[in-house]
Structure 1
Amino acid sequence: MRAGFILSEVWSGLRKNVSMVLSVVLVTFVSLLFVGAAILLQMQVGQMKDYWYDRVQVSIFLCPPDSEATTCVEGEATDTQKKNIEDQLNSSELAPYVDEVYFEDKAEAFDHFQDQFKGTSLEGTVPEDEMNESFRVKLKDAEKYEIIKESFSSTQGVEEVVDQNQLLDRLFGVLNIATVIAVAIAGIMLLCAMLLIATTIRLSAFSRRRETGIMRLVGASNTFIQLPFLLEGVIASAIGATLSAGTLGLLVHFGVSGWLQGQATGFSLISGVNVLIVTPILIAIGVIMAGASSLITLNKYTKV
């Protein structure tokens, strides 16, 4: 009997305040859409780091004949200098960091250059004898690339140490900034949602003050009086959270897993599985937000 009465009160409240309920649903939907996007973006950053950091290399470019670098005063890198660099890479000091070392001669460098710029204006612009020989170093921990750079940047016979991680750090930095912006927008929208939920509950409680007064007279507890109002906010917020999760699922399915994955075939992107992981988080945030906002309001306006 009590459960039936509470459910009838909840339905009555939702029906009488349709416009306000829709407002709560929409603002919750938008705010949690940003929250979900921020979480998914960080998941994508994590996947990209795992993929790229496992494949990037540090390139130690040796001196060509006409280099003006201070470490190339003797001209092109000599066999002795190459041997010293190789021995240092294989030394016990760098063993904890270096996973694999590969030497690329001029012929291989020229072939890679031609393949990379095939069909462009740069193809064939650099002759083979002007290509840099290099040591390509794969690290055990790609984020420790600074150790290699510091070890060889002033070594005789080395013109330049280039680490691909610097480019990746810039990319991930931009993605992290985008995440912060999404979180900031989500925070503002969540605050708006909480204020709107509080207003909705207050108006609902005011419109039913006569029923509430009768319930007080017959000895109803605070919990019994407040529960229908609390459920109204929670239900509206849960609907908004579910809609945001569904929208994210469609965007990921058609936009990321569908179109974008076809363009970026080299590595995996987030998928519907990631959205399934995020969905309960969004619903939990929506329910907790609505519950907290409703309780604060109800304690003020419906307390016996």
Structure 2
Amino acid sequence: MKKIFILPLLLSSSAMNGAVFNKQILLATTSELTFYEVLLISALFVMCIILLVVTITLQNFVKVLLKPKEQEDSAYTQAMESRTFWQKFWSLKPLSMEKDMMIEHEFDGISELDNPTPPWFMYLFYSSIVFAVVYLFAFHIVGNGQIMTNEYSEEIAIADKAHELYMKKFANSVNENNVKVLTDAKSLEDGSKIYTQNCVACHGDKGQGIVGPNLTDEFWLHGGSTKDIFHTITEGVPEKGMISWKKSLNPIQVQHVVSYISTLQGTKPANPKEPQGDKYVAK
């Protein structure tokens, strides 16, 4: 009889699991739940709680109606009262009552005891439902909460701010006297982005040269060393149309561009501009 009343609770729990699973799928494609979706999940929570209350009430009612006759015996009462604190806490019954707890069916001579679910497990189960309801209202109804998409956006904003502070603090530590070519992927990627945004119009997407000179050959108008290229980008060559980038790019960004330009050497793009300047030989 008890199992019949537990069935609705299990079904409602399955429904809630399905709702949570669908919510996780939904969050993969959208940052917020719609009003009707939140309303549906709320209704499932309420239904789960109602079924839980009804189940507990009916179980207690059935226990009263089907109260075994042995409970009226003084021996049963004495045995129940003689239990220790922990036996009462865990709803354990004395071994002398084991025969009274046998379930009617058996298989190959093996019988099963009708032991109740431990109270600690039920308390944990009830508290998880309460927590789920509070979480739903706190994060999706009353407020937006720290759901994954918002948390990610906030962490990105914090990281960008920290990066900006770092650049302001350490960017000036690089100059044309100590600049070095960087080879790590992150620096080269940053240099490629800066080059694409600012240099492609004059030097071409492959460094082949358009208005400005070819950056892939061995010939340079203003020196081909790392120091020379850094100086040319920073100070510019106004008389030849090369503007100074020191007001637009900090020294670390210029270093990233210089590092990226170094990767263009010897790439031999299609239709390169003719060599200009003097051949640079690394020392």
TM-score under structure 2 normalisation?
0.29
TM-score normalised over the length of structure 1: 0.27
Point out the structure with the larger helix share: 1
